[in-house]
Structure 1
Amino acid sequence: MPEPIPAPEARPDVERLRGYSAPLEGRRGLLRLDFNENTIGPSPAVTEALRSYPADQVAVYPEYDGLREALIANLQASPAGLAHPLTIDQVGLFNGVDAAIHAVIHAYGSAGDTLLTTSPTFGYYAPCAGMQGMAIEALPHDLPGFRFPLEAMRTALQRRPKILMLCNPNNPTGTRVPAEQVLELAAAAPGTLLVVDELYEAFTGDSVLPKVDFNVHANLLVLRSLAKTAGLAGLRMGFAIGAAGVVDRVSRVTGPYDVNSLAVTAAFAALGDQDYTDHYVAEVARARDYLVSQLTQSGAVFHCDGGNYLLVWPRRSAEAVEQQLRSAGILVRGMAGKPQIDGALRVSIGTLEQMQRFWTTYAQLES
């Protein structure tokens, strides 16, 4: 066998990079309380739209006409509405919010620039910043209660980081930042792109969209998804909403057909059946109240704030409890090694019936 021809090394930033990974294999058929997904699946309207998709259209590049308008109409019709109308050039389409995050940092981050965020937070921000050679400044949450470090953030913004990434509510701590504070931070940071990751906003109602005017706060970009609420995590459908110039720059670094036709079809159907999504979100709220009540009565150490998840610290080894839950067909996410929450389990909230099943099993393991 001839000697292999060596490949070139990747860029130094990539060679140093530790990529984001998640244990996603072998999850089907189990109770998925580990990745904050919708736990029951999408609207029947989505299922029917996918079943009816013409086979010959699979050979055609996707078309996006009307999808931005459908999202804007959906946002306008929500109870909070929009204080200022959106136009289609203020909405970008992405292959999931992960792709939007990557595109934002690719478009605006350069070697030596700083990405500012909180800690702990969503684990994909750091690898994306590392790909660009950015420095990462992660501010710890204020304890007790994992409160947003507002004063530390104000001070850090004086150093003019290139990007501020805020997950609101924050995954995994549930930390919430009121819309007024988000706007205050944007106003105090000219030259910084403030990106608000609102994937879990529907479960607590903290969105900045009903209050922002992107003609004024042109340095603010909001990310939204149909994964956590509408159940489209497997199809990857994400949106970036902001000033037209910012959306344009972020969209320039993506492929022309990154969002596939089935995701577009499902998105139209999901946006057209908001009642289904609202019903699911309300069910999650009921299930969250139930689980919080059970945890409180048992004397468990836990933290619950925003989002469709909470943190619980088992009395025994978190790793052992996680494995025993998996053996019982229930998946949760261990937080081992994460600052401030090492030893905790993050438990996604599903339906009331699902959380009753979780609690029955968890309480037996803790007894």
Structure 2
Amino acid sequence: MTSFEDLPIRDDLRGRSPYGAPQKVVPVALNVNENTHPIPEDVAHDIVARVAAAILQLNRYPDREFTELREAFARYLGHGLTPEQIWAANGSNEVLQHLLQAFGGPGRRALGFSPTYSMYSLLASGTGTEWIDAPRDADYELSAETAVAAIEQHDPDVVFLCAPNNPTGTPVSLDTIRAVADAARGIVIVDEAYFEFADPGTPSALELLEGRPRLVVSRTMSKAFAFAGARVGYLAADPAVIDALRLVRLPYHLSALTQAAALAALAHSDEMLAMVDEIRGQRERIVRELGRLGFRPYRSGSNFVLFGGVDEPGALWQALLERGVLIRDIGLPGSLRVSAGTEAETTAFLEAIALFAPSAANRIGA
């Protein structure tokens, strides 16, 4: 059988692997930062009704400008945003891809602060954009001084700030974001995919948009809205940025069904987000209990926790999997990552990992 390496694939794609996490059917899946809470039943019925209405008109192309959806996102985000400042696509990954298609490309460079979301470098590669890894501070933090120094050294065309950061959960201060936005000559993308899980009162980079036409704030419905399967991402930026994205998007890229489902979910945003407080509480419970067990949880503003103090990450990952609990080995030395699930899922994880706490690490595989 021919492999893709035997085909005339682009040279810069040879030897690369596609993005992905292990997909296994287990009782407790806490490995891909999903919102494990189901959509409320009454909301689901409204989504079904709106999608059904859209089906009756599938012989026609959808609204190319997804006007009603942009209006709904502007209302949800607030901060005085207008529909002209909103863009949406099939998941935030496609939003980011549009940005790199418009502002990256051959001969241009994108900068990120490693470790960070691995799709950034893959999207850069797919658009022919050179990817540059810059270091973080201790404990995966990112100070304004460190970030600005990297920008001054590399002079990137695009800067990615994951706030809070994936896979570490580390919050990024508004001071750091402001410093980066003011220092960079290119586009600065603040990826706030997990922002709704931040501690109450945490300011959003949306506060910095006014007067900064090269600053972009990206969001997703996958996490806080429990909408991962619907694939809806969006961003807020200067209207000129939105005009640029129209040049690279595919025609009618958001289906009528996607638009209908997203509008229904946004109409119930209070109910959809009611689970966020519970998830945040389970995150804090994980941090507290992992610390008690002798592991080292890192600071998190997301719906997951990265924790160190793991002698053999692969062995612990496998031991938990054998007990029906799937978490994520992201390749950071001595560390694993777990999503905050329901109370029952969190309990199952904590009970399983307690068997392999540092004081009892010699029992792995027992």
TM-score by length of 1: 0.87
1:353 to 344, 349, 352: 344
1:212 to 201, 208, 213: 208
Greater CA deviation, 181-190 or 347-356?
181-190
Please give the alpha-carbon distance, in whole angstroms, between the structure 2 residues aligned to 1:248 and 1:23: 34
Q: Does 1:242 align with 2:237?
A: yes
The 3-state SS of whatever aligns with 2:354 is: helix
Please give the alpha-carbon distance, in whole angstroms, between the structure 2 residues aligned to 1:264 and 1:24: 30
Say whether the 8 Å CA contact 2:144–2:175 is kept in structure 1. no
C-alpha change, 1:315 and 1:212, in structure 2 (3 Å) is closer
Cα-to-partner distance string for 1:271-316 (whole Å, 9 max, x where unaligned): 1222223321100111112122211222222223221111123645
1:292 to 272, 287, 297: 287
Question: Aligned-pair distance for 1:234?
Answer: 0.7
Question: Aligned-pair distance for 1:231?
Answer: 0.9
Q: Residue 333 of structure 2 corresponds to which residue in structure 1? A: 342
C-alpha change, 1:7 and 1:257, in structure 2 (3 Å) is farther
1:26 to 10, 24, 27: 24
Please give the alpha-carbon distance, in whole angstroms, between the structure 2 residues aligned to 1:136 and 1:44: 43
Please give the alpha-carbon distance, in whole angstroms, between the structure 1 residues aligned to 2:269 and 2:114: 33
Q: Residue 79 of structure 1 corresponds to which residue in structure 2? A: none
Cα-to-partner distance string for 1:228-263 (whole Å, 9 max, x where unaligned): 011111110010210111122123211122222332
Q: Does 1:11 align with 2:14?
A: no
> Is there any run of 5+ residues in structure 2 with no aligned partner, and where?
361-366
Please give the alpha-carbon distance, in whole angstroms, between the structure 1 residues aligned to 2:313 and 2:258: 37
Letter in 2 for 1:357: A
> Is there any run of 5+ residues in structure 1 with no aligned partner, and where?
1-5, 77-81
Say whether the 8 Å CA contact 2:137–2:146 is kept in structure 1. no
Q: Does 1:200 align with 2:197?
A: no
Question: Aligned-pair distance for 1:113?
Answer: 1.7
The 3-state SS of whatever aligns with 1:66 is: helix
Please give the alpha-carbon distance, in whole angstroms, between the structure 2 residues aligned to 1:201 and 1:188: 23
After TM superposition, where is structure 1 displaced by more than 4 Å over at least 4 residues in a row?
none
Q: Residue 154 of structure 1 corresponds to which residue in structure 2? A: 148
Please give the alpha-carbon distance, in whole angstroms, between the structure 2 residues aligned to 1:277 and 1:141: 34
The 3-state SS of whatever aligns with 2:106 is: coil
Cα-to-partner distance string for 1:167-199 (whole Å, 9 max, x where unaligned): 100001122222233123212223x10001100
Say whether the 8 Å CA contact 1:121–1:173 is kept in structure 2. yes
Cα-to-partner distance string for 1:84-125 (whole Å, 9 max, x where unaligned): x22212111111001111111111113232211100000011
Q: Residue 331 of structure 1 corresponds to which residue in structure 2? A: 326
C-alpha change, 1:94 and 1:316, in structure 2 (3 Å) is same
The 3-state SS of whatever aligns with 1:312 is: strand
Please give the alpha-carbon distance, in whole angstroms, between the structure 2 residues aligned to 1:203 and 1:105: 26
Q: Does 1:364 align with 2:360?
A: no
Q: Residue 65 of structure 1 corresponds to which residue in structure 2? A: 67
Letter in 1 for 2:132: E
Q: Residue 74 of structure 1 corresponds to which residue in structure 2? A: 76
Greater CA deviation, 167-176 or 314-323?
314-323
Q: Residue 39 of structure 1 corresponds to which residue in structure 2? A: 36
